Structure 1
Amino acid sequence: MTILIRPGAVLLSEWRAIYRGASVALDPATRPAIAAGAAAVAHILAKGEPVYGINTGFGKLASVRIGDADLETLQRNIVLSHAAGVGAPMETRVARLMMVLKLASLAQGASGVRPETVDLLAAMVARDLIPVVPSQGSVGASGDLAPLAHMTAAMVGVGEILLHGTRVPAADALAQAGLAPLTLHAKEGLALLNGTQFSTAQALAGLFEAERLFHSALVTGALSTDAARGSDTPFDPRIHALRGHRGQIETAAALRLLMEGSAIRRSHLHGDPRVQDPYCLRCQPQVMGAALDVLRQAATTLGTEANGVSDNPLIFADTGEALSGGNFHAEPVAFAADMIALAVCEIGSIAERRIAMLVDPALSGMPAFLTPKPGLNSGFMIPQVTAAALVSENKQRATPASVDSIPTSANQEDHVSMAAHGARRLVDMVENAVNVIAIELLAAAQGCDFHAPLTSSPPLDAVRDLLRSRVPPLDDDRHLAPDIAAAADLVRSGTVACAVLPVLLPGLEAS
């Protein structure tokens, strides 16, 4: 699968495919706009007037005029001086996504870089030459300067590049791929450094992983409802139509479809003294529907950001102007990342409450901790504790990053978004929640086993069969970590969601 990069018009589904590994090709129709932007920069230089980022210093040093003989040195210096990131390297596919986002931005022609510069970045993506980029160091304003500087440094032959999974000096990796290091011309270093592509890539990665989490949690929530012999009356469409929230309405519909035809659920109708289920079952449409609405809003924001230009100054070739603004400020990304964090946190939180309900015989009506021999065996006692620990950790991480700001660059950059680490936490938060959902999958399947010979619905039984092909029922205590890992792999990979794909709502992709 090859995605054609049409700057300003790439679909969210296409960004998702790129994140999952699809090849990319830059639309040849971008060439005239790129060349026109570069020509506009050359024209500005020829006029001899000071223009920020082209023939001046940067940030607080913008008033320092740079002579023509030093312009290439100026651009190289900004790259090397700004490559000051620390911490673990970006995950490879997120770094690759960042490169493609930058490629799409530059190809709009508003950054003033030459076609050769765009070509090198495209060639590195095509040859899978991924710069080693430290994850920490950006405050999400003036662009993601430090991480993008490390990306750009690799383009000029400095730093390291991952070549076939091995860290190689950048100059050597380029040479092995038949590419020459880039000599930066006027404006190009700044154009490559300025922008929100690091924050946006991290936020998109979090969004795409959260989509799979959301769908899997719908499945395990329905399975837990069956295991608890819960009612599907709270999912009646008339209830949700009266409130009107789209996500709530569609989530209730998905839960109804997931549970349709369950003999276990039908058994609830005969002789069950319970009048209402706990909120963790009854309020799934309200909680998961709200999460869905939030994820959709974040997706809209990030889709717009991915197709935008966040460089500074921006080059308008039609008028020959360089306009200095603040598109590099990543506040939209910061807000979107905070929204995703809240949704992920709540998806895991309500799932943990369902696990706690299932292992409590007073609430579930099943053997304590879902073991046939409680006392001799501890069953699911500690997996619930693990889920609680993961949910607590996610609560701490869900504190909004966008409300923080620390002035930088001698107060020239006096308000920043903190989008970078707001987005960077998301994949780790999703991984925590994935393990919570994995534990729920194990517990809910175990609960349904106690109701044999009654069966669940066809889609939920398909999920149980899938799990049982890898994890047998828990009759006596055993080493549980491998069971959790196997279930987590089914959730993380999207296998759980895909097992019931025909009944999943269409609003968010499952894979």
Structure 2
Amino acid sequence: MTSIQLTGAGSLTSHQLEAISLGSRLQLGEDRWQAVEQCRVFLEQLIDDKRRIYGVTTGYGPLANTYVDTAASARLQQGLVYHLSSGTGPLLSKQQVRAIMAARAVTLARGHSAIRPEALQLLLDCLNQDLIPQVPAIGTVGASGDLTPLAHITLGLMGQGDVWWQGETLNAAQALEKAGLQPLNPEGKDALALVNGTSAMTGMAALNTCQAERLLKLSVTLTGLYGELLSGHLEALQPGLAELRPHPGQAWAQQALLNACQDSQLLQQVEQPPPRLPADLPEGEARHHQPLPQDAYTFRCAPQHLGAVKDTLDFHQQVVDREIHAVTDNPLFLPESGEVLHGGNFFGQHIALAADALNNTLITLAVHSERRIARITDPSMNHGLPPFLRGNNNGLHSGFMGAQVTATALVAEMRTQASPASIQSIATNANNQDVVTMGTLAARRCATTLERLSELLAIESLILSQGYELKGGASAGFSKSATQLHRAVRKTADGLTDDRPLAGDIQQLSQQFTNPTLMAPFLT
């Protein structure tokens, strides 16, 4: 098992967080432990001096006007976890919870949250031994951070609730005992440090950005094969277009599509200067029904569309990577200057806006995929391919007709989830949280959109691979990129001859698209 070590002023990237979510270990360097210990000592000095510190010597939220004696510290911290462990709905996935735990550990390891080292060590031990609390998905508004999901994680550290352990669900106390770990008895600021922050939305958003990156690259490959099947024009992929419209994403997309297609013998080559009109064209007249010099927008505008997706994805990743490095609880402690800062770093607006932007960007990928599927299965537009790319052209079989309808349904499903979560503020907590971000809802919904998009691209992969075979396969002059995609699809699903149920093939392919290792053969 690989290990990722966090030292110095560095942080984790989204891709490192994804690696941890899939099983890599997280280790902290000695300098990080020293910072955590220094902050703990600073808090103890403040407590001994009976300073007013939110959540340590006061109540929570609108009850912060209650001062609490330090002798009640343990009860105060325990009560915080208990009253916040009120989530509902389906469970977050184990991979998502691992990402959340890693994101929280990175924040706490900055040494400004005043958690005790032993509490942080337990969080890391559970993560590294794969003892993962089960967390309901619903219950946070992303305002004072992700209180509810983080409380359920902390509850597991305390030996309560259910956890995943060695492939089964166990009571947390039983699993901790099997792992040789002592349950957490929070005191000081332990519980508040663990539950107060944006780590749930950030952890999920990190996974989203990695998965979106892979599906964007897959969309490039699919778009290239689609263009080959319809004898598209290479002219639309030329880098000169991006030079005149200098968005970084478009330049990336022009080059990525050109790389995927440049060895194809099926695309129409660039003619410069453009060809002359027919010599026998009568003066002052028009000649109709000549070959089109350019393609429908699903291929001609692919660099512009995929480039805009890339730029939005890059923006999302930049926001997430910054947030992973951020310290997002309250209050925060600066031992070097002796300051205690009460503020709102837990307010998840950055992630909320970025996740909404990514969600709608992914829906555009789905829209373009569905339009490619519609054109390639329509005999009036697909350049001589059979209707719905049926394998046996005998009138008895319908080919991908049902799958094309499912593709339409998937887009409709995603579109119903397009309204931004970040504008859905609802005041709560006795109007203490009078504006909220809904960042976790935005990140969760984006994860769902990625699931649906994976299913849609699985359908398109099956259909375009069928077209690859119907057009003659590798000997017909397809690009290496198209041949690689076809080979990868056929390792999972056979070509379609007589009609058969396709649901299993779609699900198996889409599940491969969610796994970084299994996804690799599909990408150029």
What TM-score does the superposition give when structure 1 sets the normalisation length? 0.94
1:490 is displaced (CA, Å) by 4.4
1:356 aligned residue: 374
1:275 is displaced (CA, Å) by 2.6
**Percent sequence identity over aligned pairs:** 34
1:32 is displaced (CA, Å) by 1.6
Unaligned runs of 5+ in 2: 276-288
1:40 aligned residue: 42
Contact 1:459–1:499 (8 Å) recurs in 2: no
2:388 aligned residue: 369
1:458 is displaced (CA, Å) by 1.7
1:343 aligned residue: 361
> In structure 2, do the counterparts of structure 1 residues 468 and 125 end up closer, same or farther at CA, with 3 Å as the change threshold?
closer
> In structure 2, do the counterparts of structure 1 residues 202 and 192 end up closer, same or farther at CA, with 3 Å as the change threshold?
same
Greater CA drift, 257-266 or 398-407: 257-266
2:322 aligned residue: 304
> In structure 2, do the counterparts of structure 1 residues 227 and 190 end up closer, same or farther at CA, with 3 Å as the change threshold?
same
Contact 2:141–2:438 (8 Å) recurs in 1: yes
Cα displacement string for residues 349-384 of structure 1 (whole angstroms, at most 9, x for unaligned residues): 101100000011111122221125264221111111
1:211 is displaced (CA, Å) by 1.4
2:4 aligned residue: 3
2:478 aligned residue: 456
| Counterpart mapping for 1:117-132 below 5 A | 117-132=119-134
2:74 aligned residue: 72
Unaligned runs of 5+ in 1: 505-511
Contact 2:145–2:346 (8 Å) recurs in 1: yes
Residue 492 in structure 1 maps to residue 514 in structure 2: yes
Contact 2:12–2:325 (8 Å) recurs in 1: yes
Q: CA–CA distance in 1 between the matches of 2:32 and 2:517?
A: 38
Contact 1:78–1:190 (8 Å) recurs in 2: yes
Runs ≥4 residues deviating over 4 A? 266-272, 494-497
Contact 1:334–1:423 (8 Å) recurs in 2: yes
Q: Helix, strand or coil for the counterpart of 1:158?
A: coil
- Counterpart of 2:495 (choices 473, 481, 503) is 473
> In structure 2, do the counterparts of structure 1 residues 374 and 63 end up closer, same or farther at CA, with 3 Å as the change threshold?
farther
1:11 is displaced (CA, Å) by 3.0
2:284 aligned residue: none
Contact 1:229–1:268 (8 Å) recurs in 2: no
- Counterpart of 2:436 (choices 385, 396, 416) is 416
| Counterpart mapping for 1:103-502 below 5 A | 103-266=105-268, 273-365=291-383, 366-371=385-390, 372-373=392-393, 375-452=395-472, 453-494=475-516, 498-499=520-521
Greater CA drift, 116-125 or 302-311: 116-125
What TM-score does the superposition give when structure 2 sets the normalisation length? 0.92
Q: CA–CA distance in 2 between the matches of 1:473 and 1:133?
A: 41
Larger radius of gyration: 2
1:492 is displaced (CA, Å) by 3.2
Cα displacement string for residues 456-511 of structure 1 (whole angstroms, at most 9, x for unaligned residues): 0122112212223433332332222233234334433357863375xx5xxxxxxx
Amino acid of the structure 1 residue aligned with 2:256: A
1:49 is displaced (CA, Å) by 2.8
Equivalent residue pairs, number: 502
The root-mean-square deviation of aligned C-alpha atoms, in Å, is: 2.0
Contact 2:140–2:440 (8 Å) recurs in 1: yes
Greater CA drift, 407-416 or 450-459: 450-459
1:425 is displaced (CA, Å) by 1.5
Cα displacement string for residues 45-84 of structure 1 (whole angstroms, at most 9, x for unaligned residues): 1112322111000100001011122111111111111111
> In structure 2, do the counterparts of structure 1 residues 132 and 472 end up closer, same or farther at CA, with 3 Å as the change threshold?
closer
Amino acid of the structure 1 residue aligned with 2:502: L
Contact 1:219–1:497 (8 Å) recurs in 2: no
